[in-house]
A and B are shown apart, each in its own frame.
Chain A
Amino acid sequence: MALTGAAGAVGVLPGLAVETPTKVVCLAQVVSADELTSDEDYDEIMEDMREECGKYGSLVNVVIPRPSVSGAAVPGIGMVFVEYGDVSGAQKAKAALHGRKFGGNSVVARYYPEDAYARADYAH
């Protein structure tokens, strides 16, 4: 198997680890902290996410962490967590959205552990 791309570059052998699909897809680096401070932008981003992500399965929830008013670091800023009713929705969404552009940024999609998501732990 070819060791190219991200994992190869950072010196990890990805060969044996197996990807386990979950019901939650994490879209990374889609929005900037700046955009999330504006209520208008936040609402628009949420609407765009619901509209697009709803095409791939039954959408249960969309979580977009926002910067805290106090300026304290909040985990998961810039990411969007999309929860589906079943794994197949998440699989379709991940395949369709990985590498898609959002506001000019390339979306990096991955499955997010359901237990961490359930505890509202966005730092996994």
Chain B
Amino acid sequence: QQQPAKKRRSRWGSKSEQVAIPEEIDKGLTREQRELYVLRVRLQEISHKLINPASLIPVNEADRSPSPEPVYNAQGQRVNTREQRVREKLLKERAELLERAAKISPAFGNGLLKAVGGMKFEK
């Protein structure tokens, strides 16, 4: 039975998932402080997500993106499962955010770097 053009799911989360973020963002911050603040909110969120990346996989298969061809390592284990891809995407974004934070404020960026386990990123 053909469904008439399935409505794409919006990226907006429901109102019930709305989180409380302090409003001070509007008041008296310099551009750099504001940027660091936003970076920090996002980094905290990523750390939280990394605790259980599997929970980010949509339950409904129709909402999942198409999978790439499986890739296996020398031991024959798959290395690009959906969970691994979610995890890698988060780690990549985290590295980018840390790099940006370090560019704006080396002290603040290095502090964040230490907080996530002294991870090094090289390009």
Binding site for B on A (CB under 8 A): 4-10, 12-14, 16-19, 28-29, 32, 44-45, 48, 51-52, 96, 98-106, 108, 110-111, 123-124
Q: How far is the CB of A64 from chain B (nearest CB, A)?
A: 12
Query: How many residues from B make CB contacts under 8 Å with A?
Result: 34
B12 and chain A: residue at smallest CB distance: A52
Which listed residue (B15, B21, B37, B93) contacts A10, Cβ 8 A?
B37
Q: Bound complex: CA of A98 vs CA of B42, how far in Å?
A: 14
A10 and chain B: residue at smallest CB distance: B33
User: Looking at chain B's contact residues, is the secondary structure mostly helix, strand, loop, or mixed?
Assistant: helix
Q: Please give, as numbers and ranges, the residues of chain A lying within 8 Å of B13 by CB-CB distance.
A: 100-102, 104
Q: Bound complex: CA of A19 vs CA of B77, how far in Å?
A: 55
Q: How far is the CB of A102 from chain B (nearest CB, A)?
A: 5
A19 and chain B: residue at smallest CB distance: B26
